[in-house]
Structure 1
Amino acid sequence: MNDPHTHAIRPHTGRQSWLAPALVGAAAALGASALYAVAKTREAERRNPPIGRFMTVNGVRLHCFEQGQGEPLVLIHGNGTMIQDFLVSGIVDELAKHHRVIIIDRPGYGYSERPRALWTPRAHASLYQAALERLGVSQAVVLGHSWGSLVAVALALQAPQLVRSLVLASGYYYPTVRADVFLFSPPAIPVIGDVMRYTVSPVIGRLILPGLIKAMFAPADVPERFDRLMPKELMLRPSQLRAAAEDAALMTPVTVELQQHYRELTLPVVIIVGADDQIADVGRQSERLHHELQGSEFIAIPGQGHMIHHLAPDEVIEAIERAFNRAPANPA
């Protein structure tokens, strides 16, 4: 006889009925995104092969480009870019008429490797010092743009015998709260970031890259030459997204340490910026550094933005020549 107060225990299947297909669908979507990222990477590298030569320094395979003869000039690019950033600007062809111009893809950018490590400006500087020694460079004038300015400063601090003078373009030198850190840093997070870089990050990157590039040049327009010649597809590869994310995450912490040593710089320094830079606050960054570095020169180009070597190439070339003229004689 059935007890009217006894209820049959029924399995709760509603949740399971949709959870499994949802997980399968999500996995399939992630897999498709990863395949898409790999395919786009191969296509980008096929269309934009290496333009320099490779050398392994301290266990890191670096992609290096050289042009011209004369006194060495080292150009260090910023976050998200690569060797072509300087080539497309047009300054290399002019500078190479009188100088040996050396550009190295920073670790993780272009075709340089980026082993898992903490790639601070000082770590970069140690690598650059070893690379330049391998290239037979005993002294050089060094230009750093944007994040590359931190590497240039670190190199001058660590190897003062190597750096004759500095040109610092559109740099970031003092810690500030930066909203872009929270926007661009997630792909640097271990495991989660690895998944993002091969799935959602390349897709999101393709959507936001045009706006980012516009901001880099604002208030000026993006030059047609940059839009046409810059290999933007290489900037969206998972490997380069990791490098850019890590650099963004490190930007504020590394300046906390480096700013304590700026006054140790006794070499000639030329600072050049776009006066209306929308990326790095000129007053809080470059102008402040100028006041801290006794004897430094400060050049602000009105109406120009962050990518000053593209927007005012003649003025940047002139700043570099001023750095050569002010530098101590090269014994080599």
Structure 2
Amino acid sequence: MKDLMPSVHVRTLGQGERKVLALHCTIAHSGAWAGLAGVLGDDATFIAPDMPSHGKSPDWNEQGDLFDLLTELTVEQLTEPMDVIGHSFGAMIALRLAMEYPDLVRSAVLIEPVFFAVAKQDAPDLLAQHDHEAQPYAKALADGDMELAARLFNRMWSTDHSPRWPDLPERTRAAMTRGVHLVPAVKDDLFEDKKGLLAPDMMSRANMPILLVNGSRTHPAMPAICEGLQQRLPNASGCVIEGAGHMAPITHARDMARVIRDFWDGQP
């Protein structure tokens, strides 16, 4: 698998003693952690890789299993036991690392993990609502219109106060368009649990402290997913960032930093 793709670009943010592996969401990049790392800068050093087809990393060559590839590329950054923070699909990678490499994950903060297979089991009505709302960008992806897909995908996961597509810098729009083709490549992992992560013996392996975070203004499926994972994981807690949507680590960095500090301070 490692021969399928060169190493990803890794950004370092902050200068604190605590080493943190930070995993960004789809169609973002490692720089998305700059605000949070800035607030936590005296406490933590963020090791933040760019996913393939994102940031300064090379494009994914569309060979092999993407979720497996991302997991292998990311675990290379765990050179010692570290705290892990993941957002959206980045939180899915973080969850898998916690299960498959528990000796290297000291704790995990999972911000809005998009594990829709949990909602499929626990809140099928909310999953149906999500699927209905996702149809426009799914159609654009199927039609090969990546710019439209990125625009619709970004809008679905934004709030009313988020910048509109025409107001975003051209460079930002191009970066989102570049990465959106990864979305369908992990659909079965997220919606059908193709890797079997929901199996009790997998969940029990992630026995380190885990914090599940969602915004109060996010999609209704997200609280159900966070609550479902909290119930399944052996050492998990949860919290809500008031006023935040799906992009809480960017839009509410100070609130997120306070929550994470409290979580870290509460660990043995």
Residues 1:298 and 2:238 are matched in the alignment: yes
TM-score normalised by length of structure 2: 0.79
Indicate the structure (1 or 2) with the bigger Cα radius of gyration: 1
Distance 1:291 1:60 in 2: 38
Show the counterpart of 1:18: none
Residues 1:97 and 2:42 are matched in the alignment: yes
Deviation of 1:78 (Å) = 1.5
Deviation of 1:163 (Å) = 0.7
Residues 1:60 and 2:9 are matched in the alignment: no
Distance 1:75 1:303 in 2: 23
Q: Equivalences for 1:118-137 in 2 at 5 Å?
A: 118-120=65-67, 122-133=68-79
Deviation string 1:30-79 (CA, Å, 9 cap, x unpaired) is xxxxxxxxxxxxxxxxxxxxxxxxxx988423111002222211111122
SS of residue paired to 1:236: helix
Distance 2:3 2:22 in 1: 18
Deviation string 1:99-127 (CA, Å, 9 cap, x unpaired) is 1111111122223232311112x442222
Q: Give the alignment partner of residue 19 of structure 2, picking from 72, 75, 85.
A: 72
8 Å contact kept, 1:186–1:245: no
Q: Give the alignment partner of residue 162 of structure 2, picking from 205, 215, 222.
A: 222
Show the counterpart of 2:186: 247
Deviation of 1:131 (Å) = 3.3
CA spacing shift, 1:85–1:170, aligned 2, 3 Å: same
Deviation string 1:232-273 (CA, Å, 9 cap, x unpaired) is 321113xx2322332345421336611112233210011111
8 Å contact kept, 2:85–2:108: yes
SS of residue paired to 2:12: strand
8 Å contact kept, 1:263–1:293: yes
Q: Count residues with an aligned counterpart.
A: 248
Deviation string 1:188-229 (CA, Å, 9 cap, x unpaired) is xxxxx7xx65xx433x34xx61x54343232x51169x9569
Show the counterpart of 2:177: 236
Unaligned 5+ residue runs, structure 1?
1-55, 188-192
Deviation string 1:284-321 (CA, Å, 9 cap, x unpaired) is 20012122234422111333311111232222112222
TM-score normalised by length of structure 1: 0.65
Show the counterpart of 1:86: 33
Q: Give the alignment partner of residue 264 of structure 1, picking from 202, 205, 223.
A: 205
Off by >4 Å, runs of 4+ in structure 1? 56-59, 226-230
CA spacing shift, 1:101–1:162, aligned 2, 3 Å: same
SS of residue paired to 2:174: helix
Question: What amino acid is the match of 2:237?
Answer: E
Question: What amino acid is the match of 1:216?
Answer: W
Distance 1:127 1:288 in 2: 28
Q: Equivalences for 1:196-215 in 2 at 5 Å?
A: 197=144, 200-202=145-147, 204-205=148-149, 209=151, 211-215=152-156
Unaligned 5+ residue runs, structure 2?
121-126
Distance 1:303 1:292 in 2: 27
SS of residue paired to 2:230: helix
CA spacing shift, 1:317–1:228, aligned 2, 3 Å: farther
CA spacing shift, 1:257–1:327, aligned 2, 3 Å: same
Question: What amino acid is the match of 1:98?
Answer: D
